Chains A and B, each alone.
Chain A
């Protein structure tokens, strides 16, 4: 067991390292001189000195070593645009993103599960309706939903998202936007899981006994579908940390996604790179946690590469 654990950890580490290397290499393959980006007006001798100071003329391996060393110490570099470290910029905005992702996951889990269970219980009517809703929701890009919501609710002066910022009220629309995007996924899976557990002997007995109360059936069903939902939610959360960037941008929600977009527009590469790395680490970490939990909870789960 511990060996699998170690193996899993090793895998995760490899993945992260690989991404680091990849992004580093990409920085060099690309056109654009970091020194120039940093101080656009520099030229000639000044530029050269700048490059020296930034160690841009060192051999690739040396630069990478330095980069990697910095990473290990938690240094993600300096922003080109603002005179601050990338880490501080990200740290400042991370809580906002985490909050949004969390809220979204909660909402979509609840709605998705409700829809899924309902669909499982009444496959003919509700089921079909849910499928259609799912289809539509899935096919609509998130930013579209967001903008539509702004249109609708912005006009009833319900919740003003435009001002941006970090309040509970401002959380509502973005969270709903993100959640709506994820609902189809949950609805589908919950529905399938529910159907499966509905056909389990225990439940069939209960139905046969004439237990009318959905409540009792729900007790069993919910307990069954809870683990997979938790797994999905966890992974989703990790993905959302980076995935809410667009929504953040639309609603002016001050998270790392919005930071990434604005930095990208201002050519502030270290920041974007920082967000990329954080996002990757988040995903890897959550995958790892989820896998480990599964290994503990369910010895049947022995697959894996």
Chain B
């Protein structure tokens, strides 16, 4: 499972790469993107003559950034919702769960398109949309866990000790919820990466000059027949990043077997 971490770490230093997306035209005489293994541009160039290597590096950085932020926000929201719902039961619980169901029922792609029209492009947009969609599922999972935790002794004992309501309860339940959250995190991150690439692909995500792996695939769609590397490279990267996260998740699960409930059953 460490290989997951290693791949993951390897992707990170790649950003050290040329800071600059060189718009110097690395096109062949016919104006076509240059292939892999070219002396000047190792990984070739894209249709605008930009070298692939730095773009891939930046794209990876984008994906990772989105993954982390979106992950954090969505998990944060779901944890809060789960805690509140699980704790306050009755009315609050019902409302919050309905809410969760509603969000789960929303189809991601058309809704993202819809939302994308209103939000200014870029990482913020992707993160916001990702949070909106990724919050509901973990919330349900965490909620179940919260319910389970409630039955364990310490809730009653805290109440008996005179702990009052919300704040202190959160201090008790939350730490127990934490391992589950942590185990779910890599899976969520992986999904976020895929989601970001999909959004960028349909144009609802990261905007042009910024490199994004999904975006790169989209931009170069037409050139695919003679420059397959334009598809292969970003794909491989997306693949690696996603797999890295998933493997990390597997590693975490291996160390903590009763959290193995969390598997790749989401998408």
Contact = CB atoms under 8 A, between A and B. Distances in A.
Interface of A: 11, 14-16, 18-19, 22-23, 26, 29-32, 134-136, 138-144, 147-148, 150-151, 154-155, 181, 184-185, 188-189, 239, 241-243, 245-246, 249, 257, 260-261, 263-265, 267, 269, 272-273, 275-276, 279-280, 282-284, 287, 305
Given A189-B265, A269-B114, A15 B102 contact: yes
B43 interface: no
Centre residue among B98, B114, B197, B247 by max chain A CB count within 10 A: B114
Centre residue among A22, A147, A185, A265 by max chain B CB count within 10 A: A147
B26 to A, nearest CB: 22
B188 interface: no
Interface residues of B, number: 47
A14 B202 CA distance: 31
Given A147-B217, A246-B198, A264 B113 contact: yes
Contact of B228 (A19, A144, A151, A239): A151
B214 A141 contact: yes
B101 A11 contact: yes
Contact of B110 (A11, A22, A276, A284): A276
B107 A11 contact: no
A138 B246 contact: yes
Given A31-B118, A261-B202, A305-B97, A140 B107 contact: no
Contacts of B110: 242, 245, 257, 260, 272, 275-276, 279
Contacts of B197: 141
Nearest to B96: A305
Interface string B208-249: 000000100100010011001001000100110011001100
B198 A142 contact: yes
B264 A242 contact: no
B114 A140 contact: no
Contact of B114 (A14, A181, A273, A305): A273
A144 B21 CA distance: 24
Contacts of A275: 107, 110
A191 to B, nearest CB: 11
A280 B107 contact: yes
B254 interface: no
Contact of B113 (A11, A31, A141, A261): A261
Interface string B108-142: 11110111111000000000000000000000000
Nearest to B95: A14
A118 to B, nearest CB: 18
Nearest to A236: B267
A18 B113 contact: no
A144 B105 contact: no
A296 B221 CA distance: 49
CB-based closest 5 A-B pairs: A242-B107, A279-B107, A30-B118, A139-B242, A264-B113
Contacts of A155: 225
B263 interface: yes
B194 A141 contact: yes
Contacts of B170: none
A269 B111 contact: no
Nearest to A139: B242
26 contacts: A18-B99, A19-B102, A31-B118, A135-B247, A139-B242, A141-B194, A141-B235, A143-B198, A144-B238, A155-B225, A185-B265, A188-B264, A188-B265, A189-B265, A239-B107, A242-B109, A243-B107, A243-B108, A246-B109, A257-B110, A264-B203, A265-B203, A269-B114, A275-B110, A276-B106, A305-B97
A276 to B, nearest CB: 4
